[in-house]
Chain A
Amino acid sequence: MPMIRAEDATKDYDVIIVGSGAGGGQMAFTLTLAGIKCLMLEAGRGYDPVTETPMFQRRDQAPLLGNSTPDKEFGFHDATVDGGWQMPAEPYTQASDKPEEQFWWWRARMMGGRTNHWGRISLRNGPYDFKPRTRDGLGLDWPVDYDDIEPYYTKVEQLIGVYGSNEGLENTPNSPEGVLQPPPKGRAGELLAQKHGKTLGIPIIPIHRAVLTQKLDADRLPAVLFPGNTWAQKIVGDAMRARAACFWATPCGRGCSTGANYQSTTVHLPPALATGNLDIVANAHVREVVVGADGKARGVMFIDKTTGQDVRVNAKAVVLAASSGETVRIMLNSKSTLFPDGLANGSGLVGKYIMDTVGTSLQGQIPALENLPPYNEDGAGGSHFYAPWWLYQQAEALGFPRGYHIEMGATRGMPGGGNPLPDDLGDGAYGSRYKQEARRYYGSFMGFACRGEMIPNDNCFAELDNSTTDAWGIPVLKWHWLWAEHEQRMCDHAERTFKDLIETMGGTVRSVTNGRNRIEPGGKIIHEVGGAIMGTDAATSVCNGFSQTWEVPNLFLVDGTPFPSNADKNPTLTIMALAWRAGDYLVDQSRRGLL
């Protein structure tokens, strides 16, 4: 992936984009194809999925059989390099020493950011999800509604390629006919769960994931996305033709060298670069946004990590897409006479209302799945089925207001690296009996995970910790966290539901239930959103519905920061839809000379 050196970033740029993940990648794509000259700054190193992805590597080719270590927290073959919850050069602090009041902050300092390893789960928010306060009086409404965002969901799905089906379920939107790619066939455990879920009223259906089950239609889609613009159509068509369909092997979390799933580095950045309108500087660790006397953003100060030198770059507008935590940090560190409390922070809301997804899980062992004849279950490198939230009409009776969806892992996936036969089931077996029992139980374990909506609250936020700096002398974030009773009750319900499902399948619960400790720590699910929420006015929000900050009209936030709520739907697809929409708006504003 072509990059330039920090000292060569001297062009007359229209827009600086901080971050190269889902939001930054989409923004670069949208702007450069509209002819806008962009400079992208990425804090991590350059990364080339084509040459660096460990496709087909086995566990016995990895140190420690590929298991997780403090250096590689999701295992050796996970795509993330120079990242994790703990990074020596980039510490963060906690306001409380109680584990349940701490936030785990994941960073991915690499070109493409978290999109290189993400789960590719691509669910649309539904109409309810934009107006949660209107529905139940809790949390915050969005200043936009589903109809505003729907066209952009469709465009993103057409560009990146998403498999799934239209089931017409409540608050689980269909995509327009012909937009989704065909879903992959169900695996044994998924089909079994689907059958027994029916008896419990749980709809288990094909999930939506950004994986190409067939090649993108490069002859048709570019004209749909860029009507009348043959230049853009040619670039986008070429980029689509360069991506292969899934070949049904190797987990998506490793990234994909053939571009069969979405990651910014294979989908957004190549066509943006092909326009000739994008320069990328890697190892650019942003210190602050620089503001002019007129209160508008003038550029960005960053540290070139290859030299340790401060570098200033200038542009007509600045887009932050650095992740909720990092965007908040940059804004709070951008202090000036005009903005003494941080950039665009007159409301005092920068850093406030940060959310993650509510997570808990339960594992079971299903005798029906024992001793199945061997067959290939690798599939699309992730889940094929899930259950969207199905109890919207029963919130009052349930005692918690919002929903969760169920993700499930049922697979005869690549073994090794762990003990396939738990001691209690093995009953002391060793020798040939051990090997027979391991074969019997292989593939008979299923896990069910709750991924639920967290309501923003006053106890979950980030602020600057002026007593601690990172390796480059920049103040770090201090995190505050406290789950509310809503989320705890959701986890109670999820655990009971999973137990019912496992037992209805004829299985036995394997994992220990931990009572109120069952909820995963904040940040563990890595769906960090909020921190500079969008709203209807400058007193109660940081930006408007186009992700444009109220106080600095040429500053846009296109990562998760503008989210005023965090539906159970995984946030990445919505980040991209909002970024595309903000990009169109920015183009329109700049053509009117308003920037």
Chain B
Amino acid sequence: MSHNYQDQNQNQEPDAFGAVPIVVNQTPRLPRRTVIKWFVAVAASLQLGDAQVFGAEPGPGEPVITANGYGKDPLLNQTHNPGDLWPLTLSPAQRAAAIALADVILPADNLGPAASQLRCVDFLDEWVSAPYPAQLRDRELVLPGLDWLDVEAGRRFGDVFASLTLAQQQAICDDICFEPRAGENFKTAARFFSRFRSLAAAAYYATTAGWEAIGYVGNQPSLTYDGPPDEVLARLGVEQTVA
């Protein structure tokens, strides 16, 4: 339960509160119509042909999700890679924008590698291509958002987002990285950014490199459980009360 503190609608493990499965925070339903409407308004203000960029229904090149889920009895103890269970559906342009944006959000630094080195976009593609209600809702925000990134990049810098310099990419991100501070014309883009950051981080920290980056130690057998080290106990001002 330690990572779903934001989600009021999570499924909570009934019996063991400490062993609750983790649910990615789900954005309240934002109908595709609303997203489209807002993006259309933005596109109109940019004097772009809105129909070319944002169709009211999935465009001719945009796959409709028809795959089945993994069912109620999938193999639990083997590795399932993105694309194994249903087709990935991001377009090459969307993938390029997503890889670039994930690396701006989760770059290589002293805490660990960049998102692109950890296949984060494969997970994101699996997510927005999945045939389940929560993921289909995210698809309605993330795909138009990725398209918007390229439109915005073109408007400001005359190129697609993935081809911009880091400074140019950050200039766009600065306008959409925090919804309460985003300008009126960037509100929906800011919602997209928030959701994208959430999904990219969900993937990043699911990897062993991500574990190291965040400070998780575990998932390894041990003969004893020793509890917090003395340094932690001292910092908290507590004593270990179990012998």
> B203–A65 contact, CB under 8 A?
yes
- In the complex, the answer to whether A417 meets B232 with C-beta atoms within 8 Å is no
> Does any Cβ of B come within 8 Å of A372's Cβ?
yes
**Distance between Cα atoms of A416 and B106 in the complex (Å):** 14
Q: How far is the CB of A252 from chain B (nearest CB, A)?
A: 6
Q: Does B60 contact A (CB under 8 A)?
A: no
Q: Are the CB atoms of A185 and B25 closer together than 8 Å?
A: no
- Does A561 sit at the interface, judged by CB under 8 A? no
Q: Which residues of A contact B (CB under 8 A)?
A: 45, 51-79, 81-84, 87, 118-121, 165, 182-188, 191-192, 194-195, 206, 209, 246-254, 357, 359, 361, 363, 365, 368-369, 372-384, 407-423, 427-432, 434-436, 438-439, 442-443, 445, 447, 449, 451, 510-512, 514, 520, 524-527, 570, 572
Docked pose: A520 CA to B8 CA in angstroms: 11
Give me 29 A-to-B residue pairs in the complex whose CB atoms sit less than 8 angstroms apart, sorted by A's number: A58-B208, A64-B130, A71-B74, A119-B13, A165-B242, A188-B228, A195-B237, A195-B238, A249-B221, A252-B16, A376-B222, A376-B226, A377-B217, A377-B228, A407-B16, A407-B17, A412-B218, A416-B211, A417-B3, A418-B23, A419-B198, A432-B109, A435-B213, A438-B201, A443-B215, A445-B3, A447-B5, A526-B15, A527-B15
Closest A residue to B112 by beta carbon equals A435
Q: Which residue of A lies closest to B12 (CB)?
A: A361
Q: A71 and B70 in contact (CB under 8 A), knowing A52-B76, A186-B227?
A: yes
- B241 within 8 Å of A by Cβ? yes
Residues from chain A with Cβ under 8 Å of B227 in the complex: 184-187
Tell me whether B216 and A72 are in contact (CB under 8 A). no
**Contacts of A414 on B, CB cut-off 8 Å?**
211, 216, 218-219
A55-B77, A409-B20 known; A185 and B225 CB under 8 Å? yes
Residue B104, interface by CB 8 Å: yes
How far does the alpha carbon of A62 sit from the alpha carbon of B188 in the complex, in Å?
30
B231 touches A373 (CB 8 A): yes
CA of A78 to CA of B72, assembled, Å: 11
Residue among A119, A206, A359, A514 having the largest count of chain B Cβ atoms under 10 Å: A119
Closest chain-A Cβ to B226's Cβ sits at a distance in Å of: 7
Q: Which of B120-143 contact A (CB under 8 A)?
A: 123, 126-127, 130, 132-135
Contact B4 A187 (CB under 8 A): no
Q: Verify B205–A416 contact, CB threshold 8 A.
A: yes
Additional pairs, 9, CB under 8 Å, beyond known A252-B16, A375-B217, A419-B6: A64-B126, A72-B74, A75-B21, A75-B22, A415-B2, A417-B206, A420-B205, A422-B6, A423-B194
Contacts of A372 in B (CB 8 A): 215, 228, 232, 235
Q: Within 8 Å of chain A (Cβ to Cβ): is B202?
A: yes
Between A68, A77, A187, A206, the greatest number of chain B beta carbons within 10 A of the residue's beta carbon is seen for A68
Assembled-state Cα–Cα distance A119/B213 (Å): 29
Interface check B197, CB cutoff 8 A: yes
Q: Tell me, yes or no, whether B105 is within 8 Å of chain A by CB.
A: yes
A428–B105 Cα gap in the complex (Å)?
A: 10
Task: Check B69 against A413 for contact (C-beta < 8 Å).
Answer: no
B66 at the binding interface (Cβ < 8 Å): no
B120 to chain A, nearest CB (A): 10
Minimum C-beta distance from A49 to chain B (A): 10
**Closest Cβ–Cβ distance, residue B71 to chain A (whole Å):** 6
Contact, CB under 8 Å: A62 / B203: no
Chain B contacts for A445, CB-based, 8 A: 2-3, 5
Q: Which of B33-74 contact A (CB under 8 A)?
A: 69-74
Contact B15 A418 (CB under 8 A): no
Is B156's beta carbon under 8 Å from chain A? Answer: no
Inter-chain contact B222/A247, CB cutoff 8 Å: yes
Q: Name the B residues within 8 Å of A84 (CB-CB).
A: 72
Q: Judge whether B105 and A434 touch: CB under 8 Å.
A: yes
Provided the pairs A83-B72, A416-B205, A417-B3 are in contact, do residues A442 and B215 lie with their beta carbons within 8 angstroms? yes
Residue of A63, A118, A120, A524 contacting most chain B CB atoms (<10 Å): A63
Separation of A512 and B132 alpha carbons in the complex (Å): 26
| Chain B residue, CB-CB nearest to A247 | B221
In order of increasing CB-CB distance, the 10 nearest A-B pairs are A119-B16, A416-B206, A428-B178, A119-B15, A185-B227, A75-B21, A418-B3, A407-B17, A383-B18, A419-B198
Across the interface, which residues of B come within 8 angstroms of A572, CB to CB?
15
CB of B181 within 8 Å of the partner chain: yes
Contact of A431 among B15, B72, B107 (CB under 8 A): B107
Asked whether, in the complex, the Cβ of A54 is within 8 Å of the Cβ of B208, the reply is no
Min C-beta distance of A330 to chain B, whole Å: 22
With A70-B132, A119-B16, A249-B221 as known contacts, state yes or no: A78 contacts B21, CB within 8 Å.
yes
Q: Are A375 and B197 in contact (CB under 8 A)?
A: no
How far, in Å, is A247 (CB) from chain B's closest CB?
A: 4
CB of B165 within 8 Å of the partner chain: no
Which B residues touch A427, using CB under 8 A? 178
Tell me if A416 and B207 are in contact (CB < 8 A). Answer: yes
In the complex, the answer to whether B109 meets A447 with C-beta atoms within 8 Å is no
Minimum CB–CB distance from A506 to chain B (whole Å) comes to 11
Residues of B contacting A60 in the complex (Cβ-Cβ under 8 angstroms): 119, 123, 203, 206-207
